[in-house]
Copies of this chain bind each other. A is one copy, B any other.
Amino acid sequence: MIIFRDKPYRCTSEIVLDLVSGKWRISILNELSKGPVRFNQLQRLLPNATQRMLTMKLRMLESDGLIIRKVYPVSPPRVEYRLSELGEQLVPMLTMLCDFGSTYIDSFPDEVSYSDHKHA
């Protein structure tokens, strides 16, 4: 049994799930993997996430050491987020998750459809 940050885990894979699970976390990481993004840009990229949720998840990812928050002391405020070194190391895994997801849904073609609209 591993204790990490005062929480017990049966396997280190569960720790990784804590890092990337939770709504918006993967989407944020995916966007940041393409390069640094400002808060406002992120809002437009993830139009269904409320400001509150984005802020919360970004702070969590930051305290997990996966992303870096950089504040430019200008007016109007400018805050930029980017992957940390650890976060960069996560990218190949995100790709693998994505790949297996594609493989998986290919086994259930009847249950898949696509939608263009951004909401929901």
Contacts and interface: CB of A to CB of B under 8 A. Distances in A.
Contacts of A46: 10
A111 B26 contact: no
A13 B98 contact: yes
Consensus secondary structure, chain A interface: helix
Contacts of A12: 97-102, 104-105
B107 A15 contact: no
A26 B104 CA distance: 17
Interface residues on A, range: 35 or more
A3 interface: yes
B114 A2 contact: yes
A120 B94 CA distance: 30
Given A1-B114, A3-B115, A12-B102, 5 more contacts: A5-B111, A12-B101, A12-B104, A13-B97, A17-B26
Interface of A: 1-5, 8, 10-17, 19-21, 26-27, 30, 46, 65, 86, 89-90, 93-94, 96-105, 107-108, 111-118, 120
